Amino acid sequence: MKIESNYTSPKTLLNKGTGYLSGYSHSLNPYTGCTYGCSYCYVRQMPVSLFRKEEWGTWVDVKQEAAAILQKELHKAKAKGPVSIFMSSSTDPYQPVEHKEEVTRSLLEVMVQDPPDFLFVQTRSPLVRRDIDLLLRLEDKVRVSITVETDREDIRQKFTPSAPSIAARLKTLQLLREAGIPIQATIAPVLPSSPTFPATLRALVDRVCVDDYFMGDGSGGKRTRRLGIYSLYEELQLEDWYDPAAYRLVYEGLQQVFSEEELFLSQKGFEP
Ligand code: SF4
């Protein structure tokens, strides 16, 4: 697939944390657009994507001079009160373009020099391993959450064919943990998985968050319904997994091997 990448010069980087992210003072998106282009990604229905001709997943805007902008904004924000940052809400900060552009890395460098009170990094990319040196310097002020919606690679390929493999994400969790970085496995959205998924995660993490289209898309599942994802479930004859109660299929298995304190549902798992 041809990817179009552009350079933009935004005036600001930090956005106010609202709605689902109201526990945060700010959200931070190093890029606009995301070339993982997951089938269920509802960002494609947001203004950032709706006003583009190109299809979601085929373009990315690289924010130039991002570090310098963040440095100023962070300084100002910290003068006003506690700063907690969610990175990222409408892009993956470690999508493939980050290999070359290093925008996310440059933002972490700023945050190491002038740390926010808390930083939550949300990604599905093994590239986050490159920045272990910086993440370590944020000590307990950071949590890295790796999206692992399923343990089934065939399901991953159907729903998110451009995203990293499940094995690579599990390996990333293992390496981050070994490095001593606070981590979370995030099953969001819940996709059809195998009965051994909870045990696989038990061996890797002490914190799991479960979220689905119905709790987590901000509209009780309506946004996701508009994406037409249900047809994928029909094609796979896995309709049972597209249901407001389907998260229980995995959650109850997790409850067998994780304690209540280690398990989080929906928004709770993303809070600072
Ligand atoms: S990685 Fe996240 S932001 Fe990117 S397409 Fe997938 S769901 Fe959307």
pLDDT in tens, 54-108: 999 999 999 999 999 999 999 999 999 999 999 999 999 999 999 999 999 999 9
Task: Confirm or reject: Cβ of 43 under 6 Å from ligand 1.
Answer: yes
Domain count for the chain, please give it.
1
Q: Is the pLDDT of residue 1 over 80?
A: no
Task: State both tokens at 74.
Answer: 């962070």
Task: State both tokens at 250.
Answer: 């995995």
- CA of residue 33 to ligand 1 center, whole Å: 9
pLDDT in tens, 4-26: 999 999 999 999 999 889 999 99
Q: Which ligand 1 atom is at minimum distance from the Cα of 160?
A: 6
- CA of residue 27 to ligand 1 center, whole Å: 15
Q: Which secondary-structure segment (H or E) carries 69?
A: helix 66-80
Give the residue numbers spanning the domain of 93: 4-270
Banded model confidence at residue 48, pLDDT cuts 50, 70, 90: confident
User: Which of 36, 73, 75, 70 is closest to 56 using CA atoms?
Assistant: 36
- CA of residue 48 to ligand 1 center, whole Å: 13
- Least confident range of 154-158, 191-195, 227-231, 247-251: 227-231
- Segment 241-255 mean pLDDT: 96
Task: State the CATH number of the domain containing residue 194.
Answer: 3.80.30.30
Task: State both tokens at 233.
Answer: 């479930």
Task: Confirm or reject: Cβ of 92 under 6 Å from ligand 1.
Answer: yes
15 or 216, which is more confident:
15
* Residue 94 contacts residue 128 (beta carbons within 8 Å): yes
Res 217: pLDDT: 74
